[in-house]
Amino acid sequence: MASLTYTAYVSRKIIRFGGLGVLALVVVYWVIGAAWAAYLAAHPPYTAPTVRFGILPKIVFSQKTIDKKEFNLELANDVFPKFKDQTNVYVIYRSKSVIGALEEAKKTAGLIGFNGQPIEASTGIYQFVDSTTNRTLVMNVLADSFKLNYDYLNDQTLLNPDNMPNGDEAVSMAKAFLSQAGKLYKDLDEGTSKITLWKIGFGALTEVKGLTDTNIIRVDFFRKQLDSERNIVSESLDKSSVSVLLSGSSVAAKKIVEVNYKYINVDDSAPSTYPIKTPEVALADMKLGYYWPAKDVETKTVTIRKVSLAYFEPITPVQFLQPVYVFEGDGGFVAYVPAVTEKYTQ
């Protein structure tokens, strides 16, 4: 019969080595788990596009004469950027009721000093007039867009500004106006802004370089990127669909002289994924003339140096925000090619 001393000795050995064994198993389990998690992160399981919105309408671009060109490719490392085979498509909220939208428009107009009854110019288009300040406000109530205008080009008092704001002050003033109107949405506030300086002369604006020559400042608001990396592009490359023009007048009603506001209300909470063309296929479309030149050049041969994915802000009242390939080349050439595969557009 084993002695109590020997039994205790064996028990201690079992506990010691058993504990080491358990610890080793925990370490191995942790290492294997971490390695598997890293593998899944690098090789996530494939998820097929959801295509919940069915067949999408084709993107409509404005009419332009498109000349067939020859395209060469010179990209970094001579390869296309890596894109997934699918990307998000978003729903755009639009009012379906003119009456309800008009009531909302009246509230917006009242917030910026237009308290009279509007005149209906056409279906969904209403004009407000403030005779006291000689300002007009034209609102497309169904598209949630408007243009505020003061005849600043013919106001001689604006030529020599009392106190011209600097760039930061102009952005703050423009944001304050949009906020007052209830139109400073989060993606505008958190996006980027661009300042350009202008001078009134002979009934038109001329862009200038220095603040000393400036009597109008334009602030363009570009929305925050979607999907954390995708820009929303429009027909105009240098100008956004939301802009505010400011003067240096000390008269309150003359400080904001023009506002162009076209905002699409994108539901970013529940997008659906759709299969997209490869950049190689999109380039082949371009070579066949199936592209839209956001900025064209006269040369018949263009070298493409950058390719990216973005979302195109629609020019017609459609329900979806869709992706486009953006091709950028020499001479400032920029072209858009619809990215969703032909199978899912009509």
> Higher-confidence residue: 305 or 162?
305
Please report the pLDDT score of residue 186 as a whole number.
93
As a whole number of angstroms, the longest Cα–Cα distance in the chain is 117
Residue among 130, 161, 166 at smallest CA distance from 148:
130
**How far apart are the C-alpha atoms of 263 and 317, rounded to whole Å?**
11
Say whether pLDDT at 13 is over 80.
no
Place 40 in a pLDDT band, splitting at 50, 70 and 90. low
SS3 of residue 238 by DSSP: coil
pLDDT over 70 for what percent of the chain?
Answer: 90
Least confident of 23-32, 70-79, 271-280: 23-32
Contacts of 177 (CB under 8 A, 6+ apart): 112, 244, 256, 259
Say whether pLDDT at 266 is over 60.
yes
Say whether pLDDT at 14 is over 70.
no
Residue among 47, 282, 245 at smallest CA distance from 150:
245
pTM above 0.85, yes or no: no
pLDDT over 90 for what percent of the chain?
Answer: 71
* Mean residue pLDDT across the chain: 90
Q: Name residue 306's beta-bridge partners.
A: 328
Mean pLDDT, residues 293-315: 94
Place 41 in a pLDDT band, splitting at 50, 70 and 90. low
Domains of the chain by residue range: 1-45, 70-92+268-344, 95-265
Say whether pLDDT at 6 is over 90.
no
What residue spans of 225-270 are helical by DSSP H?
none
Please report the pLDDT score of residue 96 as a whole number.
67
CATH code for the part of the protein at 70-92+268-344: 2.40.128
Mean pLDDT, residues 119-146: 93
Mean pLDDT, residues 168-178: 97
> Higher-confidence residue: 32 or 318?
318
Please report the pLDDT score of residue 61 as a whole number.
92
**How far apart are the C-alpha atoms of 233 and 313, rounded to whole Å?**
6
Say whether pLDDT at 334 is over 90.
yes
Q: What is the DSSP letter of 230?
A: B
**CB distance 233 to 326 below 8 Å:** yes
Please report the pLDDT score of residue 71 as a whole number.
94
> Higher-confidence residue: 320 or 11?
320
Contacts of 206 (CB under 8 A, 6+ apart): 198, 199
Mean pLDDT, residues 242-255: 95
Q: Where are any strands of DSSP class E within 39-79?
A: 70-73
Say whether pLDDT at 146 is over 70.
yes
> Higher-confidence residue: 47 or 175?
175
Separation of CA 197 from chain center: 23
Please report the pLDDT score of residue 101 as a whole number.
87
Say whether pLDDT at 225 is over 80.
yes
Please report the pLDDT score of residue 298 as a whole number.
92
Please report the pLDDT score of residue 39 as a whole number.
63
